[in-house]
């Protein structure tokens, strides 16, 4: 994966906390994970730590003149890979007093896990639990959004388990039709990855949890598509989980919900969902599909094993000659070769992951560190997503919407009115400074009458600006979501000029962010020019290069020299040979690999 750098995109030194991408890939014992607190003070708890697009390559075989080899290493899309929501549950004091006669009663996620597994190819895995036996750690308000904000502060300050989402089960009754609240698309985020849910009957609670987790993973129920009749729900009696229609206990996601989840993943969301849990709250059990202590493998239930894993794994033991039984880097019970792409990049801000050659599991999902340019330098990477005004307009107002002309921003956002501003100070609209106009109110063209999600506060703001005998459409709206978040503003991380990005309605130079750097970074190159700096501040080397700074060649360099255009539909490793007779070159490849082994 050779990337040519025209200019360096990341500047600045220093350190920076990276949020929202914690990997919960190593766990303590069950006793450590199931914690009970008595009184206001928490005893110290140990921190749990972690124990593509470009999948086509072409090159030449070393020492074989006029040879040519093309290699496809694609393994399919993120939609096809099983995802895991590593969930922590906290039971408040009233919940414990009224309902929690046993830990099982307080933490049963069986039904939502089954729903997510069957319909979203995503498993909900309980990895930690906490009960407040004496009193609550903060005030539980009747307004679920107020409680949610306080709960996320509690998570940030006191919860050390690095899991994907943390949910509070409360014995209180909230003033909400859903009986809870959660942040849209907040999974993987330390400050947004969670929800609060009132407890009731087990089946009712299961659906409330499914709704909350659905919001966490970016499912919002597109209002425009629902009104147009595009969203189908298979269960007409019960309705669908994320909808307000139906009679009792819906257990289905609509086709739109599934598409929304896939869009969330393919836009760079949910990066933490791709690592496989190693240890759970529940005791080890052969047949749950997760390899636990004492097991060599676990292909799941008898039906699942018969369908895909029985040849390699029987009764949680590898069959004779098998090195693995599951994982994106396991092929016919053997480890895939080093360098095979096991997870493709989903956008310009993502990084494809390659098999290591010594594990059946694809490495943790990482993305480019914040600040990389993306989409032909029209945007900037921020938390794994390419932030552009055009993308935001489409997300909020539909596919036909586009970002308004820059003249709209320059004309309106400097006024400090409802139809153009840089936020609000109490009851007063704030004028944008001239250099900040592209970081204020989000102005779009060709918007729909209603937003795809959230609640429109007030009416649409439509304004036409004349420029060079043309009429420019400058429209927007204040769209509220998660209680007090307004989607009607340009998002943080959006490009607002050369080497500048938006943050808190200000257009700031990249240097002010003090982005940390990876090894091998100079004024002109990153990772010695042979890799990409990830959000973990580690170099991900292009194939053919290795080392912390990607400055050493690896054994694969003679075979793979760079990417070609990706083509969808290939899901297994294929070698396509040209220039000379296929069979002759295939032998040459084997001889070349053998020669390397004897060096």
The pLDDT assigned to 53 comes to: 35
Assess whether 165 and 115 both reside in one domain.
yes
Pairing of strands 385-387, 313-314: unpaired
| Radius of gyration, alpha carbons of the chain | 26
**Residues whose CB is less than 8 angstroms from the CB of residue 477 and which lie 6 or more positions away in sequence, other chains included:** 447, 451, 456, 457, 458, 459, 460, 461, 488
Tell me: pLDDT of 4 over 70.
no
Q: Which residue has the higher pLDDT, 76 or 174?
A: 174
In a domain, residue 352? The reply is no
The pLDDT assigned to 544 comes to: 84
Assess whether 549 and 471 both reside in one domain.
no
Assess whether 532 and 492 both reside in one domain.
no
Residue 490: pLDDT band by 50, 70, 90 thresholds?
very high
Instruction: Assign 423 to helix, strand or coil.
Output: coil
- In this prediction, residues 122-150 reach a mean pLDDT of 92
Residue 511: pLDDT band by 50, 70, 90 thresholds?
confident
Where in the sequence is the domain holding 537, given as residue range(s)? 518-556
Q: Which residue has the higher pLDDT, 387 or 483?
A: 387
The answer to whether 290 and 327 are in contact (CB under 8 A) is no
Token pair in block for residue 41: 């003070």
Tell me: pLDDT of 345 over 60.
yes
The pLDDT assigned to 14 comes to: 37
In a domain, residue 335? The reply is no
Assess whether 89 and 204 both reside in one domain.
yes
Which of 207, 235, 267 is the last residue before a domain boundary? 267
Which of 512, 538, 567 is the last residue before a domain boundary? 512
Tell me: pLDDT of 409 over 80.
yes
Residue 224: pLDDT band by 50, 70, 90 thresholds?
confident
The pLDDT assigned to 514 comes to: 67
Assess whether 114 and 135 both reside in one domain.
yes
pLDDT digits (tens, 9 = 90+) for 43-66: 333 222 222 333 434 444 444 443
For the whole model, what pTM was predicted?
A: 0.75
Separation of first and last alpha carbons in the chain: 25
Which of 458, 489, 512 is the last residue before a domain boundary? 512
Query: If you average pLDDT over every residue of the chain, what do you get?
Result: 78
Q: Which residue has the higher pLDDT, 172 or 13?
A: 172
In a domain, residue 55? The reply is no
- In this prediction, residues 427-432 reach a mean pLDDT of 94
In a domain, residue 361? The reply is no
Residue 103: pLDDT band by 50, 70, 90 thresholds?
low
CATH number, domain containing residue 158? 3.40.390.10
In a domain, residue 30? The reply is no
Residue 107: pLDDT band by 50, 70, 90 thresholds?
low
Assess whether 192 and 153 both reside in one domain.
yes
pLDDT digits (tens, 9 = 90+) for 553-595: 876 544 433 333 333 322 222 322 233 233 333 334 333 443 4
In a domain, residue 498? The reply is yes
Assess whether 424 and 550 both reside in one domain.
no
Token pair in block for residue 10: 């990341």
Assess whether 415 and 537 both reside in one domain.
no
- In this prediction, residues 167-196 reach a mean pLDDT of 89
In a domain, residue 62? The reply is no
The answer to whether 306 and 319 are in contact (CB under 8 A) is no
**Residues whose CB is less than 8 angstroms from the CB of residue 170 and which lie 6 or more positions away in sequence, other chains included:** 92, 94, 95, 140, 147, 196, 197, 198, 199
Assess whether 188 and 152 both reside in one domain.
yes
Assess whether 384 and 446 both reside in one domain.
yes
% of the chain with per-residue pLDDT over 70: 77
In a domain, residue 76? The reply is no
Residue with tokens 């990409």: 532
How many residues in the chain? Answer: 599
- In this prediction, residues 242-253 reach a mean pLDDT of 74
CATH number, domain containing residue 531? 2.10.25.10
Token pair in block for residue 509: 């130079």
Q: How many domains does the chain have?
A: 3
Assess whether 452 and 504 both reside in one domain.
yes
Q: For residues 271 and 86, what is the distance between their CA atoms, to the nearest angstrom? A: 12
Assess whether 492 and 477 both reside in one domain.
yes
The pLDDT assigned to 263 comes to: 92
Residue 245: pLDDT band by 50, 70, 90 thresholds?
low
The pLDDT assigned to 110 comes to: 84
- In this prediction, residues 126-143 reach a mean pLDDT of 90
Can you spell out the DSSP letters for 222-258? -HHHHHTT----S-TTT--TTSS-SSS------HHHH
The answer to whether 393 and 447 are in contact (CB under 8 A) is yes
């Amino acid at each position: 994966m050779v990337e040519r750098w025209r200019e360096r995109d990341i500047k600045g030194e220093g350190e920076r906390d990276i949020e929202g991408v914690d990997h919960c890939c190593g766990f303590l014992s069950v006793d450590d994970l199931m914690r009970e607190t008595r009184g206001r003070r928490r005893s110290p708890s140990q921190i749990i730590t972690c124990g593509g697009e470009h999948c086509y390559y072409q090159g030449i075989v070393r020492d074989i003149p006029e040879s040519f080899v093309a290699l496809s290493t694609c393994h399919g899309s993120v939609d096809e890979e099983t995802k895991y929501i590593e969930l922590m549950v906290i039971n408040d004091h009233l919940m414990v007093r009224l309902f929690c006669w046993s830990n099982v009663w307080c933490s049963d996620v069986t039904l939502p896990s089954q729903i997510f597994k069957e319909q979203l190819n995503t498993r909900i895995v309980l990895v930690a639990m906490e009960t407040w036996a004496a009193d609550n750690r903060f005030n539980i308000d009747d307004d679920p959004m107020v409680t949610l904000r306080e709960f996320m502060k509690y998570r940030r300050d006191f919860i050390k388990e690095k899991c994907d989402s943390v949910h509070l089960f409360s014995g209180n009754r909230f003033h909400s039709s859903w009986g809870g609240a959660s942040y849209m698309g907040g999974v993987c985020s330390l400050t947004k990855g969670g929800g609060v849910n009132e407890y009731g009957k087990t089946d009712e609670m299961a659906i409330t949890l499914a709704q909350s987790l659905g919001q966490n993973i970016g499912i919002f129920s597109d209002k425009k598509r629902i009104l147009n009749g595009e969203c189908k729900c298979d269960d007409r009696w019960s309705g669908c989980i994320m909808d307000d229609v139906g009679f009792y206990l819906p257990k289905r996601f609509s086709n739109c919900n599934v598409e929304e989840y896939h869009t969330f993943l393919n836009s760079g969301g949910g990066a933490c969902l791709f690592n496989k849990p190693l240890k759970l709250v529940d005791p080890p059990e052969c047949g749950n599909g997760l390899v636990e202590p004492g097991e060599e493998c676990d292909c799941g239930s008898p039906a699942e094993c018969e369908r895909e894993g029985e040849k390699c794994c029987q009764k949680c033991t590898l069959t004779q000659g098998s090195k693995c039984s599951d994982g994106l880097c396991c092929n016919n019970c053997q480890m895939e070769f080093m360098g095979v792409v096991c997870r493709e990049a989903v956008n310009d801000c993502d990084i494809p992951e390659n098999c290591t050659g010594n594990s059946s599991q694809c490495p943790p999902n990482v993305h480019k560190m914040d600040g990389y340019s993306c989409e032909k330098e029209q945007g900037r990477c921020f938390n794994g997503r390419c932030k552009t005004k055009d993308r935001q307009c489409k997300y909020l107002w539909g596919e036909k919407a586009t970002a308004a002309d820059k003249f709209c921003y320059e004309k309106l956002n400097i006024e400090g009115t409802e139809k153009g501003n840089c936020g609000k100070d109490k009851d007063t609209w704030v004028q944008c400074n001239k250099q900040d106009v592209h970081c204020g109110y989000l102005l779009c063209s060709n918007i729909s009458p209603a937003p795809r999600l959230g609640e429109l506060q007030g009416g649409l703001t439509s304004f036409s600006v004349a420029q060079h005998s043309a009429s420019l459409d400058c429209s927007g709206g204040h769209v509220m979501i998660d209680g007090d978040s307004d989607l009607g503003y340009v998002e943080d991380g959006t490009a607002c000029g050369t080497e500048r990005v938006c943050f808190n309605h200000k257009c700031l130079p990249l240097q002010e962010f003090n982005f940390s750097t990876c090894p091998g970074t100079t004024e002109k190159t990153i990772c010695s020019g042979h890799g990409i700096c990830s959000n973990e501040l580690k170099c991900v080397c292009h194939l053919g290069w290795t080392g912390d700074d990607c400055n050493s060649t690896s054994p694969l360099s003679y075979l793979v020299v760079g990417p070609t255009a990706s083509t969808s539909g290939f899901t297994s490793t294929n070698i396509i040979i040209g220039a000379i007779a296929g069979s002759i070159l295939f032998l040459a490849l084997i001889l070349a690999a053998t020669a390397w082994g004897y060096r």
